[in-house]
Every structure is written in structure tokens, then in C-alpha cells.
Amino acid sequence: MDEASKTEKIRGPEFRNKYFSGRVLDIGCGDNLVVPNAIPFDKEQGDAQNILNYLEPCTFDCVHSSHSLEHMRDVPGALKQWWQLVKPGGTMVIVVPDEDLYEQGVWPSLFNRDHSATFRLNKQDSWSPISYDLGQICSVLPEVEVVSLEQQDVGYDHTLKRRGLGRQGKFFMRLNRSIIKRLNRNQKGLKKLGLDLQSLKYKVNLLSVKLGAVIDQTLEDAVAQIQIVLRKKRTGG
């Protein structure tokens, strides 16, 4: 399941109806629009780092971006431009990877080399040389109200989390993915033998972590991210 689908499942229809109404812009959406009526803005539409070169300020009721801000060359600069697109009274919803759950103490990211920065939640310091506290960088935007800010770790097993890569970590990471893929391909055979797939995968992952690997749990059903919802105050309140 892709990140967009997993995040949508966490949010549910109430969240969608509350925030994704009116004119919605979805930055970095690929083929997975947050709602069917959203306007896409991906590489085909232009450079999201300088989005005001393509779109007019104060023209959207909601700006949404999931797992795109970490790809920007200048994170605060991109965020400021995205915020300018929101109408007074409108909202912005941003989702980024949580550095402690996703990168797990390793930079550059082992799982996505295109990441330009990591993000943390309510931490003063970070192990990452290019880390932003999502709440802090959003709270300085003009006329902003932070509606909600949360870590989303549904399906994430914290017992498999590491802090850095062991000496033979990369080897065991590759071996881990190979074994997990084979287990997934042979689900029916394992079931006939009376073996539990999830239990086997956990044992493989736990052994891999003990041997120095860092596991990307988002390749399965887990999420490892931070979500913030912002509202732009109307003039005078």
C-alpha cells in the first residue's frame, strides 16, 4: 500500500470532509490526488520550490502536500510560498517523514536519496545535519494557527527501530528485503504449512536489526510520519 493510501486510511472521511473542500491544491501528488476534485501540482506542472512562478497567491481553500516538502532544496522558502497560496480562512495540510522513525539516525537517507532534509517533532536537537522541527518552522508563518500536529506511526513496530547503521548493516538490509519479498510471494504455501506470515516477517526483521540493519517499515503497512494542519487567520482575527 502506498503512503497516500495509508494516510487516507488513517484520516478517514470526517477529516477529508472538514479540510479538503472548495478549491484544493495537491503538491507532489503523483497519481494519487488527495480528493478527486484537487488540482495537481507535480513535476509536470513545474518546480514546487518556486510555486509562485506558476500560481497566484490566495487562490486555494486548502493546500495539501504529502511527502514532498523533504524533497525541496530550501524547505523554509518552499513552505513560505506554499502558504501564500492559501486564502484567509483556508488550511494547509503537510505530511513529512519522521526522522527517528524513517531515517533512524542515518543521513543521507538510506531509503530515499532525493531527500534534502529530515523532520522532527517537539525536539530541540537532532542527530541529522539538516533537520527541521515541523511545528517550529510552521509556527512562524504569517497569520498562522496550528490546528493539529501529530506523529503518525500506525503499524510501526518500535522494537524494530535502530539508531544508526551497524558495520554489516547494508548487507543485512539487502538480505532482509530479499527474504521478506520471498515470504510475501509464498503466502499460500506458508499458510498450508501452518506458518504465520506476520510472525515470520517479524522474526526476520528483528534478527536483521540485531545484525546492524535499518528496516524501512513503510515498505509494508506502517507509516512513519508527522502531520500538521494549519489555518490561515482572516484579517483581524
Report in angstroms the alpha-carbon separations of 4 from 82, 115, 140, 192.
Answer: 19, 18, 27, 33
Can you tell me the distance from the alpha carbon of 226 to that of 110, in angstroms, rounded to the nearest whole number? 19
Note the Cα 75 to chain centre separation in Å: 14
Q: Determine the average pLDDT of the residues in 9-30.
A: 95
% of residues, the chain, pLDDT over 70: 99
pLDDT of residue 237 exceeding 60, the answer is no
Can you tell me the distance from the alpha carbon of 79 to that of 73, in angstroms, rounded to the nearest whole number? 11
The pLDDT tens digits for 138-196 are 999 999 999 999 999 999 999 999 988 888 999 999 999 999 999 999 999 999 999 99
**pLDDT given for residue 236 in this prediction:** 62
pLDDT of residue 97 exceeding 70, the answer is yes
* Cα angle 109, 157, 210; round to 5: 70
**pLDDT given for residue 150 in this prediction:** 98
Can you tell me the distance from the alpha carbon of 214 to that of 164, in angstroms, rounded to the nearest whole number? 7
The mean pLDDT of the chain is 95
* Cα angle 76, 45, 48; round to 5: 5
Q: Is the peptide bond before 108 cis (omega within 30 degrees of 0)?
A: yes
Q: What is the CATH number of domain 3-156+220-232?
A: 3.40.50.150
The pTM score is 0.93
Q: Determine the average pLDDT of the residues in 103-128.
A: 96
Can you tell me the distance from the alpha carbon of 167 to that of 207, in angstroms, rounded to the nearest whole number? 15
Report in angstroms the alpha-carbon separations of 157 from 113, 183, 207, 217, 237.
Answer: 24, 19, 14, 8, 42
Q: Determine the average pLDDT of the residues in 21-39.
A: 96
Please classify residue 211 by burial: count the beta carbons closer than 10 Å to its beta carbon, then call 0-12 exposed, 13-18 middle and 19+ buried: middle
Let me know: does 42 contact 30? Beta carbons within 8 Å: yes
The pLDDT tens digits for 182-235 are 999 999 999 999 999 999 999 999 999 999 999 999 999 999 999 999 999 997
In Å, the largest CA–CA distance within the chain is 68
